[in-house]
Amino acid sequence: MIRKTLVFCLILLVFLGACSIAEDATKNNSRATLGIITTISTKKNSAIHFFDNSLNLIESYPVAYASVGSYFYVPEVIDGKLYTRSKSEEVILEIDLKEINTTTYSIGQPGINDLRVSKNLLFCCNTLDNISIISRLDLPSKELKTKEFKDVYVSKLLCDDQRLYAFVTDLGEELSSSLYLLDRDLNLLDKVDLSSFGITQYKAIQDQNYLYFSNPTSVKDEANNLIARFNKSSHEIKSYTLDHTMPNDLLFVDDTLLIAHYNPVTAESNGISFLDLSTETVTHHKLDHGIMQMAYKEPSLYVLDEDTIYEYHIKNRQLLFIQKSLIPLDKKGSYTSGLFLMP
Amino acid sequence: MKKLYLKRILATHLILLVLLLMFTPTAMAFNSADVKEIFPEEQVEQLIERINSQVISRDKQPLISSRSRDFSISMRSGDDNYGVYPTRPGVILVTPDKFMDFIPLGHSAIIRTSSTVVEATARGVVTGPNDWYRTRNRCYAVTVIETSPEQDLAASAWCYKQRRKPYNFNYFNIWTRRRFYCSQLVWAAFLDQYGINLDTPAFGHAIHPIELVTSPKTELIYVKE
C-alpha cells in the first residue's frame, strides 16, 4: 500500500511539475517575425507580444507568471519553443510558439539566472549562499541533476553538443573570473582564467570553433572595452580592444560581430561597434537609443530598447534606420525582458 | 486489519502532504497576517511619505560607470528617476513594492559589484544581476554616512559570503546570525563590522527595509518612483 502510494505521489509530482497550461486558442502569430517578453516583478502579469515584419503588433499573449525573462540574457528559442524562467516563482517556462502552450518545469532552485537548452537537455544556473548551482534537466524524462560550485557566481552559460561553458566570477574580496568547461554530465573538465579580460560576463555567443564574450567591467570592477575570443580546441584566448566601453550584447551578421555598447545596470548606451572578423577592423555607429538586446533576420537588424523596438538594415557596414514601434508597457511596473526571433 | 487501516491512514496523509507542498507557493512561507501585524501598512506608508521630503545627496564616491560624455541614458516613459542609479559596491537598495501586491514587506539588497546584488530571500542569500533599475516599480538607494567606500565594499562582501543561511521568519530576532531576512542581513553587515546600527525605533526590534532609508545614519542617493 505504502509503495503504491509512493509511486502515485511520484507520478503526481512529475505530472504537476510539468503541467501544460492551455492559453488563448486564437493563434494569429504565424505572421510574426519577432516576439518580445514584458513582465512585472510583483504581479503574475507577464506577456509575449508578437510583431510582424512591419513592426505591427499582431497579438499579445498573457503569461501568468511574474519576473519572466531577464534583459541580461537573450531568450533561448530551440525547435519552435521559447525557454525562459520566472525568477520569483522558481520555474522554467517552455512556451510552444506555434501552439502557445506553456509547460512549466520545477528545478527546485531559487533565483535562476541564465538557462540554455541543447539536445533535450536544459541547463540553468543560480547562486545561493555563496554557492553556484548548475542544474541539468532532461526534458523528456524530467530527470534532474545538479552540481555545486563553491565561492563563485555563475553569470552566463553556453552549451554545444559536447560541452557546457560557464562564465564564473569569484565575488570574494579579490575579484577574479574563469571559464569553466564541463561535459554534459556536469563534470568539470577544465578552468581557464579570464581575470585579465574582465569579470561578470553576461553576454557570450559561439560558432563551431570559438566562444566570443563581452567584458564590460575589468577585474577592478571598472568600465572596460574588451571583447575576447576563446578557441574551443586549443583554449587560446584572443582579445579585441574597442574604442568604446561597456560591450554587452553580441550578434553575428555574416563575417561581422556586432557589439552593443550598453550598460544593462544603468541603461547607459553608446551605439554599436562592427568588428570585421576577417580583417579585425572596427567601425562604430552612434545610436540615440539604448541597445538592450539585438536580433538579426536578413536584411533586418532588430534592436530592443526600454519600450521601443527599432529596425535597421545593414548595407556596406552602415546602419540604415527603417522603422520603430512602441512596445505595450501599459501596466505600472512592467518592463521588457527579452527579444527573440520567431522560428 | 488494524495494520491495513494504519497503512491507509499513513498513505492518505502522505498524499495530502504532497498536495500541500505542491500547491503552497514559496511566497506563502511569509504569513501575510503576521507580517501585516509586525509591519502595519499605515506605518510603512507614513515612513515612505517621510522619504519624499528627504534630500537626494551625491554618492560619497564618483560613480563606477561606463558614463562618459557620449553615453546616453534611456528609461521607460512614465518613470521618474532622481539621482543616478548606483553601481558602487556596498550601496543599499530598498524597494517598498509589495510582494505579489499584498505583503507590505518591501525588500532590500546590497550591491556586491557594479553588476551584481546580494539579497536575503525566503530561500537563502541569493546573488544575481543588479537589475533593480528596471525590475522594481519603486526603488531607493542609500549609503551609510560614516563609512568609507572601502568599508561599504567589505560590508557587501560580508553579505555575499554568508553560507547556508536560511530565511529568518522571526523578524524580531535580529541578533541571530544563523538565518537572515533581507533588511536584517544588510543591517547586520554594518553593525557587526563597524558598530553602526541602522535600525530605527519603528516596528520595535524588527527591521523593515524602509528603515534603512529613513535611518539618520544613511543618506538617500537615488529614487525611482
Predicted confidence band of residue B19 (pLDDT cuts 50, 70, 90): very low
Structure confidence at residue B74 (pLDDT): 56
pLDDT of B117 strictly over 70: yes
**Owner of C-alpha cell 520603430:** A324
Q: Considering only A36-40, A273-277, B28-32, B92-96, which range has the smallest mean pLDDT?
A: B28-32
**Nearest residue of A to residue B98 by CA position?**
A42
Report residue B43 as a C-alpha cell.
506605518
Contact status of B15 with chain A (Cβ, < 8 Å): yes
Q: What one-letter code names the amino acid at A20?
A: S
Q: What's the ipTM?
A: 0.88
Structure confidence at residue A335 (pLDDT): 95
Contact status of B121 with chain A (Cβ, < 8 Å): yes
d(CA B192, CA B167): 19
pLDDT of B132 strictly over 90: yes
pLDDT of B18 strictly over 70: no
Q: Model confidence over B185-207: pLDDT tens digits?
A: 999 999 999 999 999 999 999 99
pTM to 2 decimal places? 0.86
**Nearest residue of A to residue B116 by CA position?**
A200
Q: Model confidence over B51-81: pLDDT tens digits?
A: 988 888 888 875 544 444 455 655 545 556 6
pLDDT of B11 strictly over 70: no
Residues of B in contact with A38 (CB under 8 A): none
Structure confidence at residue B22 (pLDDT): 41
Record: contact A129-B25, CB cut-off 8 A: no
pLDDT of B3 strictly over 80: no
Q: What is the mean pLDDT of each run of 10 residues along chain A (343 residues)?
A: 55 46 54 95 93 95 94 95 92 94 93 95 95 96 96 96 97 94 98 98 97 96 95 97 96 96 93 96 95 96 96 92 93 92 95
Predicted confidence band of residue B10 (pLDDT cuts 50, 70, 90): low
Record: contact A173-B157, CB cut-off 8 A: yes
pLDDT of B208 strictly over 80: yes
pLDDT of B82 strictly over 80: no
Record: contact B131-A264, CB cut-off 8 A: yes
d(CA B181, CA B125): 9
Q: Which residues of B146-169 are buried (b: 16+ CB within 10 A; e: fewer)?
A: ebebebbbbbbbbbbebeebebbe
Say if residue A343 is preceded by a cis peptide, omega within 30 of 0.
no
Helices and strands: H and E segment counts in chain A: 1, 29
